[in-house]
Structure 1
């Protein structure tokens, strides 16, 4: 087991994933499994009508996290599709147009953050008492503007701003809602609290992932998203199993 997140006794306490603390070595295995896990797919084609079994990536890492930075809104949509699936023609244009429409809002939010990552922002940035103009208020408006394809829009914006814009879906938002407190600007405040409360553990996890996985450098904001999504979609055990096979291969 690598150092950092593999240290015995270090845990992540993430109420969004459940009441039990997540041991750091389990969190590491889960993220490595998300990055390297495979699944079987039956593939058929005109040239091979009888079909054959092929192994494909089980999760979206290769199509999203390991994808190079975007060069424009067209590429942004393609990157988002790599994580959330293909859009029809109408949906593709809706996501593309939304990304263009929210550009001024994202620019103001970046200016407000002034180079600070999401987890280094003060709690006041996620309180309704300090609005308007806060990062939290901007993120809430982004969520409202994202429309029916919000997951695609936020995936594209997170890929472009990986240290500032959380990637949230309907499923992960639902898991965070019970933990919203009075005065919070939105569920992003819950993510902010969990990152700050587990700052040392996430720093260790970032370092440990860098030792094992070399095709991407996810921020702790993305690592939180991956752990939350795996837990809330009941995929955590599979990802952990895949990751342990990578970290501790059988002799």
Structure 2
């Protein structure tokens, strides 16, 4: 994916709006309002806490509202996986996900690997694993990948023999495109200012947009923003000869 396309897609994800016909007590006939089209303001710009109610809200920001039993399930799962996430962090030894040695995400490196901790997290995530992964990623944005059903399905065909999970595919893609994602991190943080997503989150956003057929719409929304004009204005000029 060209860098400009990736920048436009992330801008659209962050700044894009969608129309909603809304009826209220003071305007019962209804009127149009503009809401955020994606989850940026419900997730990326918010702070995280120690596995409390606010963290469950973060999961809802990306994966939808929970009923009362669902809320209890996620709270319980977050308590159960907290030591596993801490173990993954300890095993990483301060390295971000994309700098981990390959054997940390391979069955050949077991036991005691980061990938093994991710597998145990998935097993202990209850009935709402997407909500749990969203919270864990928000707490450790440079280490824990955020995965959904659609992105897992997209990554699965690219798995290699010996991979502990689809996290290994994300690891290879980030390693192979390290310079591009480093540029994207800096560009997005400079243009938006309200959040600085690490490359794990940027990869997640782009993959989710592509796998859910929202990429074209996000790019169109992004190229209509003031931030896009700023991006174009800061690119190196191309001179004709």
User: TM exceeds 0.5?
Assistant: yes
1:71: how far off?
Answer: 4.4
Structure 1 position 145, deviation (Å): 1.6
Aligned position for 2:213: 234
Task: Please report how far the alpha carbon of residue 219 of structure 1 lies from its aligned counterpart in structure 2 after TM superposition.
Answer: 0.3
Q: Distance in 2 between matches of 1:77 and 1:112?
A: 26
Unaligned runs of 5+ in 2: 231-241
- Tell me, yes or no, if structure 1 residue 248 matches structure 2 residue 233: no
In structure 1, list runs of 5 or more residues that go unmatched. Answer: 1-21
**Count of residues in Structure 1 that have an aligned counterpart in Structure 2:** 228
The residue correspondences of 1:183-202 to structure 2 (distance < 5 A) are: 183-202=162-181
User: RMSD of the TM alignment (CA)?
Assistant: 1.1
Distance in 2 separating the partners of 1:90 and 1:243: 37
- State whether residues 73 and 100 of structure 1, in contact with CA within 8 Å, keep that contact through their aligned partners in structure 2: no
Once residues 174 and 73 of structure 1 are traced to their aligned partners in structure 2, the CA distance between those partners, rounded to angstroms, is: 30
1:132 aligns with 2:111: yes
Q: Which structure is higher in RCO with an 8 Å CA cutoff and minimum separation 6?
A: 1
Q: Which runs of 4+ in 1 moved over 3 A?
A: none
Answer whether contact 1:166 1:222 (CA < 8 A) is retained. yes
Deviation at 1:48, TM superposition (A): 2.4
* Structure 2 residue corresponding to 1:111, chosen from 43, 68, 90: 90
Aligned to 1:57: 36
Residue 104 of structure 2 contacts residue 113 of structure 2 at CA under 8 Å; is this kept in 1? yes
Asked if 1:98 is matched to 2:77, the reply is: yes
Contact 1:126 1:185 survives alignment (8 Å) = yes
In structure 2, the partner of 1:156 is 135
The answer to whether the Cα contact below 8 Å between 1:129 and 1:183 also exists between their aligned partners in 2 is yes
CA contact (8 A) 2:51 2:79 kept: no
| Mapped partners of 2:191, 2:133: distance in 1 | 27
State which drifts further: 168-177 or 38-47: 38-47
After TM superposition, the score normalised by the length of structure 1 is 0.88
